[in-house]
Amino acid sequence: MIFGFNTDIAAMDTVYHVQTEVREQLPRLESQVFVRGRCIGKRAGVLPDSATDEQIHELARAQHRWILESLRAGQVDEVLSPNLPKADRVGAPKPEKAEELSIELLVSQRQNGEKSILRLQVLFGGNIAPRAQVGVNWKIDSASGALQDRLTNDAGVVELCLGLTDATVELEVNARLGGRETTRSFTIKPPQ
């Protein structure tokens, strides 16, 4: 299956065109960034051999979304020069900061009227992070709890189940990999 994403985004007085697609013959996931029709750089990553079409689609969506968010935040060098030492990048953070983990919510869907399925992906420096440990604390109205920690698969994705509720669910997701750690909050609202 061949699929991809194309988005125009205005950031820092520049309009960027971001194109993400799967190069099946290599196999790899490639995102290119254009300004006024000229490719100014790209970001590519090898796809796991065991990835399904659905996982590849999720990886492409997550990489595309990460690039858009990075461009919005003014982190052009982070997107286009992932292998440069941080100190060599324009506007780079202090050199002692390591590349960071990030967490993306790929899917939140109800299934069989009994439970909600969450698919989360962990990225390290914009690339997939297999075998990252993911923990989730949840809060629904006045009740709260924690889901058992799980490891991400080869595509950096973990699937978690929540009991079905008609209330808003607040999640605090923690990911850990190789001595690095990050936490991100998500709010899941019930369908209207």
Please state, in angstroms and rounded to a whole number, the distance separating the CA atoms of residues 147 and 54: 24
**Cβ count within 10 A of residue 149:** 12
Cβ atoms within 10 Å, residue 154 = 14
Residue 165 CB partners (closer than 8 Å, separation 6+): 116, 140, 190
Domains for the chain: give ranges and CATH numbers. 4-88 (3.30.1450), 101-188 (2.60.40.10)
Instruction: Enter the tokens of residue 188.
Output: 């899941």
Is residue 128 within 8 A of residue 155, CB to CB? The reply is yes
Q: How far apart are CA 123 and CA 67, in angstroms?
A: 12
Q: Which of 145, 146, 140, 159 is nearest to 55 (CA)?
A: 159
- For residue 84, pLDDT over 70 is answered with no
How far apart are the two ends of the chain, measured CA to CA in Å? 33
Provide the pLDDT for residue 6.
Answer: 92
> Cα 132 to chain center, whole Å?
13
CA 96 to chain centre: 24
List, for residues 30-78, the tens digit of each pLDDT value: 889 998 888 888 887 777 777 788 888 888 888 888 888 888 877 777 7
The alpha carbon torsion through 146, 149, 150, 152 (nearest 10 deg) reads 100
Q: Check residues 96 and 169 and name the one with the higher pLDDT.
A: 169
The model's pLDDT over 151-189, given as tens digits with 9 standing for 90+, comes to 998 778 888 887 767 778 889 999 999 888 999 988 887
Higher pLDDT, 121 or 86: 121
Mean pLDDT of 98-110: 75
3-state SS track over 137-153:
EEEECCEEEEEEEEECC
- 11 pairs with which residues across the strands? 14
**What is the pLDDT, as a whole number, of residue 8?**
93
| Exposed / middle / buried, residue 107 (Cβ in 10 Å: 0-12, 13-18, 19+) | middle
Kindly tell me if the per-residue pLDDT of 102 is higher than 80.
Answer: yes
Tokens 């669910």 belong to residue: 169
Cα(83)–Cα(141) distance, rounded to whole angstroms? Answer: 44
